Structure 1
């Protein structure tokens, strides 16, 4: 029994170690634009049935309850928490935030489409609207040389005043993508997500319509990590790790006692 308890406690150590990694990643990204925190989900390992409930205890009676022994715990997965972060005003005309559901689209290397909540965009040498990594925002928006007074409406419409013209010229429209199951998107790092079979196909359309968020110019969405909550979770995780470690020590002492006295 003691060796089995040691094995169970070991699974607890592994699970709490992975949970601590999730918490530390959340805290590391507390200032990352548009970052969404993760939560570790636990699941029990297979149970060993010693006595099945309803089995015959005698010729005339049955066990009302069975005897099932658990074999430990595992990390079942990580769930991304998509609650909105606070809006931070920057005053930069190319800083954008989404007030509501959805993601900006960018063209990543290899032609794949990436999705992000980080709208800290800039203008390339060719006048293209790009991310800080140089990935082009989709659909492509080109800002002509000498354009001033760039305005981006809540529906994503981009316009600017061109030299020699009195009326602002429309340059295109930034579209927003939503997903049937946004939690199924796969994180690729650098604030980018990619579509998976679990997320479903992207539903691309105009910002502010069909449940999509509005575009906010001159603002950025902050991380939704709550430092206090993460620190409390970290302490809880540490205590759980210590308890599992003590269980291994206690099981080891029990085995020592048996070997020395029996």
Structure 2
């Protein structure tokens, strides 16, 4: 196949993937806690073709050799964990994080032996609710809208006694205040487990703004998740604040995504024209040979 056609085809495939990523970002502009994805490209292969020595004529300014590329492909699609704006809802079960951290939750599943297992996952979507469990009629549990339990620093579900209100302090301490006797001292029922993702590119997306760790993670990567909540010796913990009655909006900016969309479409059209031109030249060459 013609070298120009290979170059254009490879690049168009990568650009089509980038268009899909941009479309997903724009579709989730109003999704609570959504984090936009960003695409990075790199050259597939670049070679230099040697030119005859007689090409080196007096007065030539360009270097010898003809640089030949083979298109560009996507090297990575990374999730940008930058802060989104906070929206006040005044709902006590809506909780937002101000700073670089995520809530840890437990996803219930079944292993190969049919036993119930809990897999840790993380999210920035703090639209929680208090739900009852049949096995524990005396308490309600803080859960995500998908029904997953929100964990505390001891990896236990956060539960609130019946007839108590939920209160969350700025440092993530969870309190339960009595609805029947407001003068009763508040009960400390847990501490939200907030974690910082050291290597966001390693995370695997589950959908619904949930992230988890791949099963085949390479131990050589080192630390990937770091607990930052309620640690006075950790400077990262001082940069965090938990806001009750708020939710975090998507960090997608429509103007930026529209700009990326137009640039990517222009690049796709340019490569499509190059592909068509190469096809026309090959057709003309075949006609000359006949």
Instruction: Tell whether 2:151 aligns with 1:138.
Output: yes
Task: Figure out how many residues of one structure are paired with residues of the other and give that number.
Answer: 253
Instruction: Tell whether 2:273 aligns with 1:253.
Output: no
CA deviations 1:178-205 (Å, max 9, x no partner) are 1322343221111111135458342224
2:252 maps to what in 1? 225
Offset of 1:257 from its aligned partner? 1.3
User: CA separation of 1:199/1:36 partners in 2, compared to 1, >3 Å: closer, same or farther?
Assistant: farther
1:82 maps to what in 2? 81
Instruction: Tell whether 2:138 aligns with 1:121.
Output: no
Offset of 1:207 from its aligned partner? 4.8
2: CA distance between counterparts of 1:33 and 1:14?
31
Question: How does 1:144-223 map onto structure 2 within 5 Å?
Answer: 144-148=161-165, 150-162=166-178, 163-164=180-181, 166-196=184-214, 197=217, 198=221, 200-207=223-230, 210=234, 211-212=236-237, 213-223=240-250
2: CA distance between counterparts of 1:222 and 1:93?
17
2: CA distance between counterparts of 1:109 and 1:81?
27
Instruction: Tell whether 2:23 aligns with 1:24.
Output: yes
Offset of 1:172 from its aligned partner? 1.3
2: CA distance between counterparts of 1:93 and 1:26?
29
* SS of alignment partner, residue 115 of structure 1: strand
User: CA separation of 1:64/1:237 partners in 2, compared to 1, >3 Å: closer, same or farther?
Assistant: closer
Q: TM-score, normalised by structure 2?
A: 0.81
CA deviations 1:94-141 (Å, max 9, x no partner) are 111110011100001231100111111101113011000110001221
* SS of alignment partner, residue 120 of structure 1: coil
* SS of alignment partner, residue 285 of structure 2: helix
1:240 maps to what in 2? 267
User: CA separation of 1:207/1:191 partners in 2, compared to 1, >3 Å: closer, same or farther?
Assistant: farther
2: CA distance between counterparts of 1:240 and 1:94?
46
Moved segments of 4+, more than 4 Å: none
* SS of alignment partner, residue 129 of structure 1: strand
